[in-house]
Structure 1
C-alpha cells in the first residue's frame, strides 16, 4: 500500500504579523509548500506602553486565525500535526488568556507562547534549511520581529552555540521613540543609542559578532529592505530569497527611510502595516551590521520552516 504524503501546518503569531505555512512531505523525502500566507494584524499594538493586548488587535488576529483555520481544515491538516506559536507581544501581555482562548476556539489548537530562546532556535533551523552558506565559519542568524530581535550563532551542521532575544523590534521601537518619518535627528540618535546599549550588554565575548563567517537575515524587515533595494513594486519572493545586502546598502536604506513619510514609503511598494515600522526595523539592522562588518544574506526560510521541520521530525 502506498504511503500517503504527510501534511503539517505552522502558524507564527508575531507582534506585527500572523503567518501560515502548510507543507507536505512527499514519499521521496521532498518537502513542498502548499500554502504560505501573511497578514499584518499588529497584535502588539500598544503592548509596550500598556502591558496588554488591545481589543482591536485581538479582533484582527482572531479574524486572520479564522481564515487560517479554514485553510488547515480544507487541506486536511490534523490538529496533532499543527503547531501555533506566539512570540514577543504575548510574552509581555497580562491578558494573554484572552488570546489563548480565542485562538484555540478558531484553530482547534492551543497556541504555545514560546520563549525568546525557542524562537531563536526555530529561526536558526528554518534559515539554514533554505540557504546554503559557503563559509565554514560561525553563522549568525538575525530575526527582526515586531517586538523582539533574535540573534543566533551556530554552524552549518545546525548546532547552536549562542542565542539571545532582545526586546527591540520594529513595532516596539517605533512606538517607544516615535519613529514615524521624516525622523528628527534626536529621535533617530536616541533610538540608535538604545539599540547599541542592548547590543553592548550581550554576554558574548567582545568582538564576537565581527568574527562570523556568514550572516543571514530573516523576517519582514530584511525581506522588505531587499525588495526596496531591488526596486520591486510588486513583491517577488523568488527574487528576495538568497539576495545579498551589502553594508553600504543597509546603511543607505536606513538613511533613506529615515527621510520619508509613511505615505512615501508605502508608495515605494511597502504594504500598509509595514510601511510605518520599516524605518525602525532598518535602524536595528544597521546597528547590527555595524558590528558584524559583512554583507547579509536574505532568507525567506525562517521560523515557519523551523516549526514545520520540527513537526515532521516527531
Structure 2
C-alpha cells in the first residue's frame, strides 16, 4: 500500500463539513483519496492509498471476473469503507468509480451489487471520456499540451485544454497478460525482447486505430503530463531515487526515449532484481508494459518531453465533490 497517512493516523471525532472521499478502481490498482477543502478552495490530502487489488487479473475469455480478483478487490474496498467511516464522511461526499476493467467485464452489474451489499459503497462504471476528463481536472499541468493516463486496462489521451482525443483499449495489466510470462501475478511480468517488440507493435496498431496522431503544438508547449503509477515510478527511476518515493517522482521531467529504455531494461530483469530498483514492488510485474505504453503514446503524439504526476482520476473526483459542498 502507498499512503500519505498510515492506518494508525490520529482521526478527528467527526469529519469537517468540507471533507470528501474519492475511490478509483482500476484493472490493476484500487486507490482512495480523502481530502479536505481549505478556505482558499484548494484541497489538502488527508489520506492517499493505493492497493494492487488486480481486479482484472484472470478475467475469463467471456469477460467474467475471477473469484479471486473479486475477493481481493472486495477486501480492499472494505478497508476503504472503514477509513471513510472512521473519518465520519457522509455518503453524499463520497464517490467511487471504476474504469476499463468493469467496462470490459460482462458481470460488472453483479460485481457492483456485491460491492454495495458488502461495503455500502456505490461503485459507478465510467466511460473513457469521463475517465479522461477527471484525469485532466485532477492532474494536468497548466502549461501541458497533452495528458496521457496509462491505466491497467486502457490509455486515455487528451490534447490541448483537455480536449478528448482517445480512450485506447491497451493498458499495463492487459499488455502484461497478453505478452508477458506469468501474467500480472507477483511471479509474472517477464518479457523477452521478442515479446516486448510484439507489445510495442500491438500498442502502435491500437493508437493508430484510435486516431492518435501528432499534435500541432508550438515549441513552448510541446510536453505532456503523464498520469498514474507507471509515470511516477518512471520519475523515480529518472531522478535516481534511492528507493521509491512518490514525492521524489512527482513533477520529474522525462522523455519518450527514457520511458522506452527503462521498459526494455526492466523487462529483462527477474522480479527479485526489479525489487532493487526505486519502484513500487506491487507494480514490478506490470511496469515494463506501462513504461512501454508511455513511450509509444508520446511518440504517436509527436512529443519528446513530459512531466509526471501521481495525481489522477481520484483527484478530479475529489474536486467535483468539494465543489458541491
By the TM > 0.5 criterion, same fold?
A: yes
The 3 A distance-change label for structure 1 pair 48 and 203 is farther
Give, in whole Å, the separation in 2 of the partners of 1:84 and 1:233.
34
TM-score by length of 2: 0.86
Asked whether the 8 Å contact 1:120–1:150 carries over to 2, the reply is: yes
8 A Cα contact 1:47 1:92, kept in partner = no
Alignment-derived partner of residue 113 in structure 1: 125
Please give the secondary structure, in 1, of the residue aligned with 2:163.
Answer: strand
Q: Which secondary structure state, in structure 2, belongs to the residue aligned with residue 34 of structure 1?
A: strand
Matched, 1:276 2:289: no
- 2:28 paired with 1:16: yes
> How far apart, CA to CA, are the structure 1 residues paired with 2:284 and 2:61?
21
- Could you tell me which residue of structure 1 aligns to residue 240 of structure 2? 231
Aligned ranges 1:141-290 → 2 under 5 Å = 141-155=147-161, 160-178=162-180, 183-203=191-211, 206-208=213-215, 213-290=222-299
Give the Cα–Cα distance (whole angstroms) in 2 for the partners of residues 181 and 85 of structure 1.
27
TM-score, normalised to structure 1, is 0.89
Whether the 8 Å contact between 1:48 and 1:172 is mirrored in structure 2 is no
Gaps of 5+ in 2: 1-15, 182-187
Distance change in 2, residues 1:181/1:107 (3 Å): closer
Query: How many pairs were matched up?
Result: 300
In structure 1, the residue matched to 2:79 is 67
Tell me which of 83, 86, 95 is aligned to 1:83: 95
1:104-139 alpha-carbon deviations (Å, 9 max, x no partner): 1344231110001110110111113xx342xxxx62
Identify the residue that residue 6 of structure 1 maps to in structure 2.
Answer: 18
Q: 1:9 to 1:248 in 2, by over 3 A?
A: same
Corresponding residue number in structure 2 for 1:297: 307
Q: Structure 1 unaligned segments of length 5 or more: list them.
A: none
Distance change >3 Å, CA 98–CA 208, structure 1 → 2 = same
Q: 1:111 to 1:169 in 2, by over 3 A?
A: same
| Separation (CA, whole Å) in 1 of partners of 2:21 and 2:273 | 36
TM superposition shift of 1:14: 0.3
Question: CA distance change for structure 1 residues 202 and 98 in 2, over 3 Å: closer, same or farther?
Answer: closer
Indicate the RMSD between aligned Cα atoms, in angstroms: 2.0
